[in-house]
Structure 1
Amino acid sequence: MKRPSLPSFASLPPLSAVAVPLLTCLVTLGALTAWTAGGHAGRPAEVTIPEGRVLIPSGAEATAAFFTLRNTGGADDVLTGVTGPTGHRAMLSRTVDIGHNARSMAMVRGATVPAGGALTMTPTTLDVMVSPPPRLAPGDRLTFTLHFRHSPPRTVRARAVRPGS
């Protein structure tokens, strides 16, 4: 009966052939751990929204609300929709030029809130269209819920103001 032979040390790879890749992996793992522990691996979006403004309606079709969304996180987020006060439809909309000094309103599916930045709604850019417009007096407040792709929904109030103020 023949005994199984043991491998000889001559058939093993040299120590440097094993040590170099192993040392490289350990240094890389240590660097990634330090990078993450130092807060550099990225932070999720952190969206805050102070009180907004809603225009006192001048017509019977719709009015608009405006908010400034600040993202102090390390990743972009996307505003995907808005829920308005009960009995009123709220939609993200944007003013678009249609030529010959004319503008129109277009519905928007989403708007990016940049990491470390802000998204500011204005009458000539992005807004929240509210239809039908509620009856409002200066100082009244409406509640809206803003929905995001990555962050939880945020409920915020908008104070009624006269157009132009």
Structure 2
Amino acid sequence: MKNLHRRPDFRRIREALGTGAVAGVASVVALGGLAAWTVAGYAGTPARIEVQESHVLLLVIPGSSTNAYFRIVNTGGAPDRLRSVSSPFVVSGIELTAHRMNATSGAYRERTETVSVPAYGEVDMSPFGTAVTLPAGETWRPGDRVTFTLDFERTGRVTVDAGVRPVTLGTAS
């Protein structure tokens, strides 16, 4: 005859409780991470990038570097980051740059790896902020169009045409 009143195996009970506790803690950590992700603004809509304005400065000295400026608007709920810019009209030398000042009040442009575009925000590149520095095209004339591809971390590639403009006092805005 079998013994129907078996003693409980406490070792198995402890293992089961331990496994349940680990699963419970992992769930709480995951929920906390999701809550932090939501509060930080990363949940909801993805980044939605639009380039609303763009132009390239036409310099009077052929063969020197010039700047292209873009007004980048993010209507999405997640931030994005501009990683690089390319153009079929420029073989090499295109860089993301930022305006800097040195101790003797001299201005210069410094290479930067990325340009952050905040959620529900914008970046308006300018001579006094971020820009795309590139070799000036020797055949460019005012009114010409230069195609650029902006590569974003989340959005991917966005292609735009930038108008070539002469350098004037009104160009700084």
Same fold by TM-score greater than 0.5: yes
What secondary structure is seen at the aligned counterpart in 2 of 1:89? Answer: coil
2:56 equivalent to 1:54: yes
What secondary structure is seen at the aligned counterpart in 2 of 1:112? Answer: strand
- Please identify the structure whose Cα radius of gyration is greater: 1
Q: Report deviation, 1:133.
A: 3.6
2:154 equivalent to 1:153: no
CA contact (8 A) 1:54 1:160 kept: yes
Q: Report deviation, 1:58.
A: 2.2
How many residues get paired?
Answer: 137
Distance 1:51 1:115 in 2: 19
The 3 A distance-change label for structure 1 pair 138 and 98 is same
CA contact (8 A) 1:63 1:133 kept: no
Offset from partner CA, 1:1-35 (integer Å, 9 cap, x none): 035249xxxxxxxxxxxxxxxxxxxxxxxxx9xxx
Distance 1:41 1:51 in 2: 28
RMSD: 2.5
The one-letter code of the counterpart of 1:97 is M
TM norm structure 1: 0.74
Aligned residue in 2 for 1:120: 124
- Runs of 4+ residues deviating >4 angstroms: none
2:75 equivalent to 1:72: yes
Distance 1:64 1:53 in 2: 9
2:47 equivalent to 1:45: yes
Consecutive unaligned residues in structure 2, runs of 5 or more: 7-33
The one-letter code of the counterpart of 1:4 is L
CA contact (8 A) 1:88 1:134 kept: no
The one-letter code of the counterpart of 2:117 is V
TM norm structure 2: 0.70
Selected match of 1:95 from 99, 111, 133: 99
CA contact (8 A) 1:51 1:157 kept: no
The one-letter code of the counterpart of 2:4 is P
Q: Report deviation, 1:105.
A: 1.3
Distance 1:162 1:111 in 2: 25
The one-letter code of the counterpart of 1:54 is V
Q: Report deviation, 1:108.
A: 0.8
Q: Report deviation, 1:101.
A: 1.8
Q: Report deviation, 1:120.
A: 0.6
Q: Report deviation, 1:88.
A: 4.7
